[in-house]
Amino acid sequence: MSQIPQWVVDALPTRTKTLQFLETLAIGTIGGVAFLVAHLPGGLISGAMLAVGAAAMLGRRMAVPAHLTQAVLVLLGISLGSLMSRQLLQHIGAYPLTIGFLALSTFGTTFGSSYYLQRVHGWDRTSAFLAACPGALSQIALLAVEKGADMPAIAVVQTLRVIILTAALPLILVLTGLTSASAPALATTVASPLELAALVAASVAVSLVIRWMRFPASWLFGAMIGSSVLHGAGWVDGGLPPIVRS
């Protein structure tokens, strides 16, 4: 009987990592379902995030395999890119000021937060900029390690930013009456199997290219760019099945 190659053994998750992932999945599922049943905004993602975050703060080691995280980011990017269409491209030119102010606010928030962390809390320039920079935490963490920045402090700020944007902000908008708790329904058709294969192939290809260019949040933005190009050009009509988007 031939032995299993060592590189295969090394690639397999250990029992400890498997149990940590299963615990993380169970806690996240419970939190997401609880928020969904309570009709809270962003139910699945907000509930799962808060539940897992609370467990981590209580000392539990939460973990998700890197490959699974990358796959989820690709699917999320495809979903975002599927909102692109020729009609949307035609209407973009009608809102130049809105788009300009949105880009300006993004830069203003990033550099304003960085300036605040430096001047008020005495952070070094690199750590402050990485903490204020929008992007996936995993990508920011890699950059922080490469630049020798304060990784624990950056992780705290980035985690709080994500929690505020995805959980606290929607809840505040609902409580103040500025929006409804139910998300608007998106009339998105499901792409054919061939189109889905093209979406995945294009998304992964673009993600690998911009990842090679060291672009932050490459899996998310690469998939979004690839999906947007295919939908914007009219080569693909429809997106992921509802069960995947949920």
Q: DSSP string of 128-152?
A: HHHHHS-S-HHHHHHHHHHHT--HH
For the chain, give me the number of helices (H) and strands (E)? 13, 0
Q: Is the pLDDT of residue 26 over 90?
A: yes
pLDDT tier, 92 (very low <50, low <70, confident <90, very high otherwise): low
Tell me the C-alpha distance between 176 and 32, whole Å: 23
Q: What is the pLDDT of residue 49?
A: 76
For residue range 94-124, list pLDDT tens digits in order.
667 777 887 788 888 888 989 999 999 899 9
Whether residue 13 has pLDDT greater than 80:
no
- Residue 147 neighbours by CB distance under 10 Å: 13
Ranked by mean pLDDT, the top range of 48-57, 95-104, 115-124, 171-180 is: 115-124
Which of 84, 50, 116 lies closest to 188, judged by CA? 84
User: What single-letter DSSP state applies at residue 235?
Assistant: S
Q: Is 100 exposed, middle or buried, given 0-12, 13-18 or 19+ CB atoms closer than 10 A? A: exposed
Instruction: Read off the pLDDT band of 187 (50, 70, 90).
Output: very low
- Residues 46, 183: contact at Cβ < 8 Å? no
Q: Is 9 helix (H, G, I), strand (E, B) or coil?
A: helix
Given a cut of 60, whether residue 241 has pLDDT beyond it is yes
